[in-house]
Structure formats: C-alpha cells, structure tokens
Structure 1
Amino acid sequence: MLKEYNIALLGFGNVLRAFAALLERKQEDIVEDTGIRLKVVGVATNSKGIAINPEGIDLNAALALVDKNQSLTSLHVGEPITDAFEFIQKVPAVAILEATWLNPQTGQPATDFCRAALQANKHLITANKGPVAFAYRELKALADSKNLSFFYESTVMDGAPVHVLRREALLGLKVNRIRGILNSTTNSILTRLEEGIAFDVALKEMQDAGLAEADPTNDIEGWDAAVKINVLANIFMGVDLRPSDVDRTGITEVTVEAAQRAVQNGQRIKLVCEAIRTETDVRLSVKPTHLDLSDPLAHVSSTACAVSIDTDILPNVMVMAGPSSPTTTAYGLLIDTLNALRGRR
C-alpha cells in the first residue's frame, strides 16, 4: 500500500538542490522499491527566502528560481515565516533534512537547528558533520526519548554506506583503528599536483565543480577532514571528542615538486585521517602522509574517498566511494529519509 510522507528541506545549497533533482528523477523508483512517496512541503534558505506549501512545493520551480538568483517566497502559501526556527516549528513535515552552513570549529548554527527539529517531534536527517561531532550524544538521546530517527549517513564519504555499518553490521565489535581519505577536495588537489598542475589551478577546478567553497580554508587546512574523523571516532569508537582534539595539519605546504618526488620514490602523498585506540584513550590525527603503493589508500585518487575500519574480530573492513558529487551526498540523505520512515532507529 502506498504511503505518502511530507518532508522539509532546511537549506537549499548544492546538496539539497541535488536532492530535489534526485527526488524528481527517482520518485517512481522509490515508490516501486519501498511503497513510499515523498512530498517536499517546505524549503528554508538563508538568502533565498522560505516557502511552505502543505500541498507540496514545485521542486522544478524552486530549482529554476534559485538558478535565476530569485527568492523562493513566491512559492509560499500562508503567513510569512521569519526564520529557520519558525520554519522548523510550522512546516507540516514528519522529517527535516538539514544541510545548512556550518562553522567546523563550533558546529553552529547547524547543531541548534538539529536540536530544534527533534524538539519539534520531527525525524532529523543531516548532511552536516558539526552536530554529530559536537552534540552526537545529546541529539541521539533526544531522538531516542521521542522515538525519532537521527541519521547522518551523508556526513562522511558523500552518502556511501559507512554509518549504517555501525548501526546494522558491526554490532558487538570493538573498533580499534580507523584510517581514511575523507576529503574530496584535498585528495583531488594532491592527485593533480602529481600530474604537475599548480595548487591554485587544482583548487579552482574543485571550486568550479561545486565541490569546494569560495573560501577553501576548511578543506585545505584540514578542518573538514578533522571533523569527519571526529565523527567516525564518536560513532564507531564510542568516544565524545571534538575537532579541537584532532592533531591537524592541512595540505597548503605540499608542492608539485614534493608530490612528484613521492611518486618517483614509489609513494603517494595523501591527507590521511586516523583514529587509534590506545590503552587509555583514542587519538585522532589528520596530516599529509607518504604512503607506500602497497597501501590501498595510496590508490584512492581524485575525488574518491575510502575508509578502513579495524576491529577486534574483523580486520580492515574497507569502504571505497567515488568520484563524489552533490548528487552522491544527496543520495545518502534520501536513503536516511527512507530508513527513518520505515521505522529504523
């Protein structure tokens, strides 16, 4: 029997615009596979206005308006909505998909938005790393107390099935080490440096592709990668650490000459993220590392990502994904939404 659920989008940047396009394209496949039809009844943005329509937002019209740099308010029905918090309260949706701007050093404002969504008795699906890095235990406890889903597959590796492993497949295991290449922008830049392309040119390629922000600081200085390894450690290793606990070094000092010299020596430079369990704690690091070609991570190139999870029973469980795009991240949001609506917690 077909079931229709109302959902709302908090944010409408690259990822949630990709989600809107993906939903338009895959809606009938979703119905066939799950018996669920998703209806977007609200979209809230920071710079393009807020729109709620209980009968459903015309997603193609919303995408066209944003492409023309126009406001979404023409799609709104009812009294104007003043801000994101009012939107969360008033939008007639059972689930909020959140992908707003994030300060990786504070986790805000995304963490406050996520808390508000759960307090409003709505399932929470986020692509934002900050809430998981800074407030995972609080948000998970809040969701559990209300029998709501709090899912975050798209926070690491652009929607590839990583977090679901911990929730469904690695039960009862002790994770001792996590290693990965988790930032698409830096991995692509390092690959291009090997090919003799200047750092600034390689970075601009990623910006032009929509995979790096106009201000690339969070990527090239290692903040994005630090938050991601922090998220994985908190989820897989049961700790409660913060990005400031990560020993972090970015790639700004890596040159074409250094990258090509590494290749000549049978190595590759990669921005390796690592979490290691010691006898007393868990230590996190992000730093450019020379990897021998015998290391599988050395062969993760361009915008691909990978993570290796070492447990007390299963050694080196590895997930690889790529190349990444806003659509791959959007797919993680889609799967999380469907799982929430199918009763997964």
Structure 2
Amino acid sequence: MGRYDLALIGFGGVNRALAELISQRGHRLAEDLGFTLRVVAITDLRAGSLVDTDGIDLAPLLAANPGELNFAGLPGGSADPRNAWVIREVPADIVVEATFTDPAHGEPALSHVRWALESGKHVCTTNKGPVALAGRALKQLAAEHGVSFEFEGSVLSGTPVLRTAQRLFGGLEITDVQGILNGTSNYILGRLEEGVDLPAAITEAQDLGYAEADPTADIEGHDVQLKVMILANEVLGADLRREDVLCEGISAITPHEVRDAASKELRWKLVGSATRHQDGSVEARVAPLALPAHHPLAGIYGPVNAVSFRTDLLGTVTVSGPGAGRIETAYALLSDIIAIHQRHAVDAAAPTRPVLLETHHV
C-alpha cells in the first residue's frame, strides 16, 4: 500500500480539520482509498513550524486549544513558521496550502504554491487567489515538473463543481455558468427579505461564523469575483484577469427592495456569471439580480452555494451544496489528494509503449 507524506502550510480551521480526518479516520481511509497519509511538517503563523520526517503525532496537537498551540517547545519544533524552508527542503510528497491570503495579489499562497511546484511536489490548496490570478501559469509549472496542482476547494468548498464540469460533462458544450458563490451574502439577502436591515444582518452572519470581522469581500462581491474567474478560466477556457470581471455587491440593496421583489415572486441573489459567446470571447460579471421563482438559483437559501451550467445537450444542470465549513473544505483537500493519487498511480502503472522505428530503404 502506498503512502503520501504531507506538509501542511497553515494550521487554522481547514488544515486542522484535515489533520483530524487523518488522525481519526486514517485506517478507514486507507482501506477505502488504497493509500495512507502521514503528516511530516506543519507550519503556522502563530504556532511556528514542526517537522518530523518519521511522521508527526497529531493527537496531542489536536487536543490542544488552537490559540495555545506552540511548536517551539516540541522536538523538531520552532517558533518561526519557516514556510519557504519547509516547502522547499522537507521531503514531502504533497504540500497542502491553506494560509490566509490577500485576494488582491494572491500572496503568500501564490509563492507557497510556486515554491512547492518548483521543488517537484504536488500541491492542493483551498486558496482562491493563486488559482484566479495565476492559475494557467501554475498549471504550466506543475506540468513542467511532472506534478499536480489541485484546487477543488477554491470555488465551492467541499462541493465538487470543477471536477463535475471537467470529468462528468465530457461531450457537452458548456456555454454559460451562473452561481451563488458566497454563502454569507446569500444568508444576508435572506434576512433582508425577512425585514432585518443590512448592519444587523451582517452582525448575525458574523455571530454565526459565516462572515469575517471585515465582511467587505463578501458584501461587495470581491470573493465571488475571484470564484467567477476560476470558473470562467477552468470551465469555459477563458483567461480572465480581475479587471475583466465587472463587480457589484449587495450593500446598496434595501430591505424594502428585497421584500417588494419577494411580493412579486422574485428573489434577490448575488450572482456570479460567465458566458462564452459565439466568437469565443467570455464575458463575466458579479451583480445582484432579482431572479424569478423558476430560476434554478432562486430557491437557494442561507449559507448554501450552487452553480448552474448551461449545456448544449442537457440544458441547465445545477450543482448545490455547502460553500463553507472547515470539515467540508477539508474534504475538498482530501478529494484533491485522491485526484493526485488517481492520476499519478495510473501514470505509474501504465505500460511503456514500444518505440516504432521507421526504416528507410535506399
């Protein structure tokens, strides 16, 4: 049975949840998947770095309060995160990148991904920034080094929209993608419909853990903008930059407008969309829309996400599921690891084709 050694870059909610899955379900996962997982390095901005090439004992780390975790006092530990050194030098098969990243320039995740690929290591990440801003270049870099770059969790957390489109829609032409890609804004719009004003709805979303302390990226559509770029580039074959995607958030919508629309059987939703025209160009935008009741996205409520694909043979196909949550996003990372295994195990097992020599008679 094979094994993959992991380096976890960032040990917040998502990578910690992945560590929990490995610690608690490792044997079951091995039986189901045909390989084992071992964590050999962890870095974290607050906790520092921890390296053990024989495998880190995860149980005591998971038992500790996240805010009190300190790697400095442990064998192989340091107060310094040492991200670059761990990514480049520690012998790991897969680098799992889940750090906090600035969506404007994709750092520090963009550098983390690049360092890992240049070092010949597979990468899976939940970060939108590197994929949206430099996805094509990073995939090319991965191909040059014979490794995989996986990022299913960058759009809908654990709900597999990218692989659904790429692997299950073979033979279909996808011309349009529309999605509710931010559960926070969707929850807030639902509360506006119920008569709650915007500041109170934002506070509720923060108390429930849906919104960050600074909710700007959710409210103004910046989070959705990056996700639309990923969908357009990965599913429609575009090469969009951030300035190519018009972006309008929900901050100007009033409870009265939302309730008035509801009385007309319309539902306000923050929709990210991308359309491929007949000339091959792709147009994308983020904007609040009042959708009719029959629209596949109109009935999506609360912190749930959904993506509708318009196809030539099946019509519109909608995939819906959780768009946030630490366990759900950790599952996306696990699905990335499975994809890496399936691709490279198949490549390794593939028979070598004989070389045919062309003979010329003179």
Q: Which runs of 4+ in 1 moved over 6 A?
A: none
Contact 1:246/1:286 (8 A) holds in 2: yes
Range that drifts further, 71-80 or 144-153: 71-80
Contact 2:173/2:311 (8 A) holds in 1: yes
* Amino acid aligned to 1:103: D
Match of 2:241 in 1: 242
Structure 1 unaligned spans of 5+: none
> Following TM superposition, by how much is the alpha carbon of 1:140 offset from its aligned partner in structure 2, in angstroms?
0.9
TM-score when scaled to structure 2?
0.89
Match of 2:300 in 1: 300
- Taking a change above 3 Å as real, the CA distance of residues 184 and 30 of structure 1, as seen in their structure-2 partners, is same
- Taking a change above 3 Å as real, the CA distance of residues 202 and 81 of structure 1, as seen in their structure-2 partners, is same
Query: Matched residue of 1:159: which SS?
Result: coil
Match of 1:270 in 2: 269
Match of 1:313 in 2: 313
* Amino acid aligned to 1:34: L
User: Matches of residues 118-129 of structure 1 in structure 2 within 5 Å?
Assistant: 118-129=117-128
- Taking a change above 3 Å as real, the CA distance of residues 196 and 21 of structure 1, as seen in their structure-2 partners, is farther
Match of 2:332 in 1: 332
Q: Following the alignment from structure 1 to structure 2, what is the Cα–Cα distance between the partners of residues 180 and 207?
A: 23
Match of 2:350 in 1: none
Identity between Structure 1 and Structure 2 (%): 39
> Following TM superposition, by how much is the alpha carbon of 1:25 offset from its aligned partner in structure 2, in angstroms?
3.0
Match of 2:255 in 1: 256
User: Matches of residues 104-143 of structure 1 in structure 2 within 5 Å?
Assistant: 104-143=103-142
Instruction: Say if 2:29 is the partner of 1:30.
Output: yes
Query: Matched residue of 1:257: which SS?
Result: helix
Range that drifts further, 228-237 or 214-223: 214-223
Q: Following the alignment from structure 1 to structure 2, what is the Cα–Cα distance between the partners of residues 273 and 257?
A: 23
> Following TM superposition, by how much is the alpha carbon of 1:28 offset from its aligned partner in structure 2, in angstroms?
2.5
CA RMSD of aligned residues (A): 2.0
Query: Matched residue of 2:46: which SS?
Result: coil
* Amino acid aligned to 1:340: I
Contact 1:65/1:72 (8 A) holds in 2: no
> Following TM superposition, by how much is the alpha carbon of 1:79 offset from its aligned partner in structure 2, in angstroms?
7.5
Contact 1:95/1:124 (8 A) holds in 2: yes
- Taking a change above 3 Å as real, the CA distance of residues 194 and 58 of structure 1, as seen in their structure-2 partners, is farther
Query: Matched residue of 1:253: which SS?
Result: coil
Query: Matched residue of 1:9: which SS?
Result: strand
Q: Following the alignment from structure 1 to structure 2, what is the Cα–Cα distance between the partners of residues 221 and 204?
A: 16
> Following TM superposition, by how much is the alpha carbon of 1:163 offset from its aligned partner in structure 2, in angstroms?
1.3
Structure 2 unaligned spans of 5+: 348-362
Higher relative CO (CA 8 A, sep ≥ 6), structure 1 or 2? 1
- Taking a change above 3 Å as real, the CA distance of residues 24 and 198 of structure 1, as seen in their structure-2 partners, is farther
Range that drifts further, 327-336 or 198-207: 198-207
User: Matches of residues 279-294 of structure 1 in structure 2 within 5 Å?
Assistant: 279-280=278-279, 281-294=281-294
- Taking a change above 3 Å as real, the CA distance of residues 208 and 71 of structure 1, as seen in their structure-2 partners, is farther
- Taking a change above 3 Å as real, the CA distance of residues 63 and 210 of structure 1, as seen in their structure-2 partners, is farther
> Following TM superposition, by how much is the alpha carbon of 1:82 offset from its aligned partner in structure 2, in angstroms?
5.8
After superposition, the C-alpha distances for 1:191-226 in whole angstroms (9 at most, x for unaligned) are: 122222332333233333433221111111100000
Range that drifts further, 296-305 or 61-70: 61-70
Range that drifts further, 310-319 or 4-13: 310-319
User: Matches of residues 1-345 of structure 1 in structure 2 within 5 Å?
Assistant: 2-77=1-76, 83-280=82-279, 281-322=281-322, 324-343=324-343
> Following TM superposition, by how much is the alpha carbon of 1:134 offset from its aligned partner in structure 2, in angstroms?
1.1
Q: Following the alignment from structure 1 to structure 2, what is the Cα–Cα distance between the partners of residues 301 and 309?
A: 19
> Following TM superposition, by how much is the alpha carbon of 1:76 offset from its aligned partner in structure 2, in angstroms?
4.7
- Taking a change above 3 Å as real, the CA distance of residues 91 and 195 of structure 1, as seen in their structure-2 partners, is farther
Contact 1:306/1:320 (8 A) holds in 2: yes
* Amino acid aligned to 2:334: L
* Amino acid aligned to 2:251: T
Q: Following the alignment from structure 1 to structure 2, what is the Cα–Cα distance between the partners of residues 65 and 297?
A: 41
- Taking a change above 3 Å as real, the CA distance of residues 244 and 60 of structure 1, as seen in their structure-2 partners, is farther
After superposition, the C-alpha distances for 1:313-337 in whole angstroms (9 at most, x for unaligned) are: 3321221113741211110101111
Match of 2:360 in 1: none
- Taking a change above 3 Å as real, the CA distance of residues 88 and 290 of structure 1, as seen in their structure-2 partners, is same
Which one has the largest radius of gyration? 2
Q: Following the alignment from structure 2 to structure 1, what is the Cα–Cα distance between the partners of residues 77 and 158?
A: 35
* Amino acid aligned to 1:94: D
Range that drifts further, 256-265 or 68-77: 68-77
- Taking a change above 3 Å as real, the CA distance of residues 244 and 66 of structure 1, as seen in their structure-2 partners, is farther
Q: Following the alignment from structure 1 to structure 2, what is the Cα–Cα distance between the partners of residues 322 and 5?
A: 28
- Taking a change above 3 Å as real, the CA distance of residues 252 and 93 of structure 1, as seen in their structure-2 partners, is same
Range that drifts further, 136-145 or 191-200: 191-200
After superposition, the C-alpha distances for 1:274-308 in whole angstroms (9 at most, x for unaligned) are: 00112442111111110111112010000111001
After superposition, the C-alpha distances for 1:13-63 in whole angstroms (9 at most, x for unaligned) are: 222122222333332221121121111111111222111111222323223
Q: Following the alignment from structure 1 to structure 2, what is the Cα–Cα distance between the partners of residues 202 and 60?
A: 38
* Amino acid aligned to 1:316: T
Query: Matched residue of 1:250: which SS?
Result: coil
Query: Matched residue of 1:213: which SS?
Result: coil
Q: Following the alignment from structure 2 to structure 1, what is the Cα–Cα distance between the partners of residues 342 and 75?
A: 29
